[in-house]
Chains A and B, each alone.
Chain A
Amino acid sequence: MELKNVNIKGIPTAEFNDNEYLENYIKELEANGVNVVLGKIDEFINWGRSNSIWPLIYATSCCGIEFMATAAAHNDIARFGMEVTRNSPRQADLMIVAGTMVHKMAPLIKRVYDQMAEPKYVLAMGACAISGGPFVNSYHVVNGVDQIIPVDVYVPGCPPRPESLFYGLMQLQRKIKVEQFLGNKQR
């Protein structure tokens, strides 16, 4: 299964991490056969969706500051069209979980996630959001946000540098590009 439709400007597909996951994902999605017409429309829709990811920043600590650096002039997330950070979950497509999740916060992040409109994605930024990171042994820390909500992309680092976050966002764009929006198996 080749990944021909998931080109990202700037990085050749072969140099991306974790291509196997996408290949398996495509296989799974295409198990019921591909409708050619829908496929073409899907391609256009996915182009639009993948290039217009409006994030909701669920920043709790250090990684939030790195996100601010990502949005600022030196790195400029606007180049990807993602500078429209929506503070209202209803209007956001992607939740960037940047920071430690603790027991007291867990119900709230679940609630915000539930308030988001479909299709929605979650990106776990930094060691804390992925696994609990430095505080993995603590009594009050949730060991990874994937215990609360499903996570699409993991961006490791403590905190990850802006380029790492961009890389993670491009990975997410790739994932969106292989999905079938009109088919019923989107997520």
Chain B
Amino acid sequence: MSSVSKYFSGLFTGIKSLLFGMSVTWKELWTKKVTRQYPENRDTLVISDRWRSELTMPHDENNEHACTACGICEMNCPNGTIKVISQMIETEDGKKKKILDKYQWDLGMCTFCNLCVLTCPSDAIKFENTFENAVFNREKLKQQLNHEGSKLRDKKKEPLAPKAE
């Protein structure tokens, strides 16, 4: 007898559990959809300021940046994404000085670990939250961060941008 009652109780609890499951999906059918519709919402999309997806070197209106070409970021980068190419020039008062020639950064290799920005002594670089970076060509991902003809900002001026926290 017990096996018969077991057969039926198993049948009915089983059906009950299935109906419970269906009630959950039924409820979800009418709840508000959570989808964030990129790219339709491109104008209203908020990406957190701290989101890291592109390294930039802020330049001010005089086309000046804060990078002294010290190379600490290059040293700290774990996989060699950053290449700081510097050149020696002679300043007006006859001293030799190292200045930035090219600041090369490979977007396709960067792991966004933030070590470069953390260790930069002059706050010359920062991460931006622009995420639309896909390209067709690998070479396009190798970028030069300093603008053409830019030069080092005078130290007395305020730094352009505060360090990204």
Contact = CB atoms under 8 A, between A and B. Distances in A.
Nearest to A76: B35
A73 B79 contact: no
A109 interface: no
A17 B133 contact: yes
Given A17-B135, A154-B138, A157-B133, A10 B80 contact: no
Nearest to B38: A163
Nearest to A21: B136
B133 A155 contact: yes
Interface of B: 33-40, 42, 45, 47, 51, 53, 78-80, 106-112, 131-138, 140-141
A130 B108 contact: yes
A157 B106 CA distance: 11
A46 interface: no
Contact of A152 (B37, B108, B132, B136): B136
Contact of A18 (B39, B53, B136): B136
Interface stretch (A84-92, A165-173, A179-187): A165-173
Interface string A2-24: 00000011110000011001100
Contacts of A17: 132-135, 140
Interface string A51-72: 0000000000000000000000
A162 B53 CA distance: 12
A74 B133 contact: no
B109 A133 contact: yes
23 contacts: A10-B38, A10-B40, A17-B135, A79-B37, A127-B111, A130-B138, A130-B141, A131-B106, A134-B79, A144-B108, A146-B138, A153-B135, A153-B136, A157-B53, A157-B131, A158-B110, A163-B39, A163-B45, A164-B53, A164-B133, A167-B132, A171-B135, A171-B136
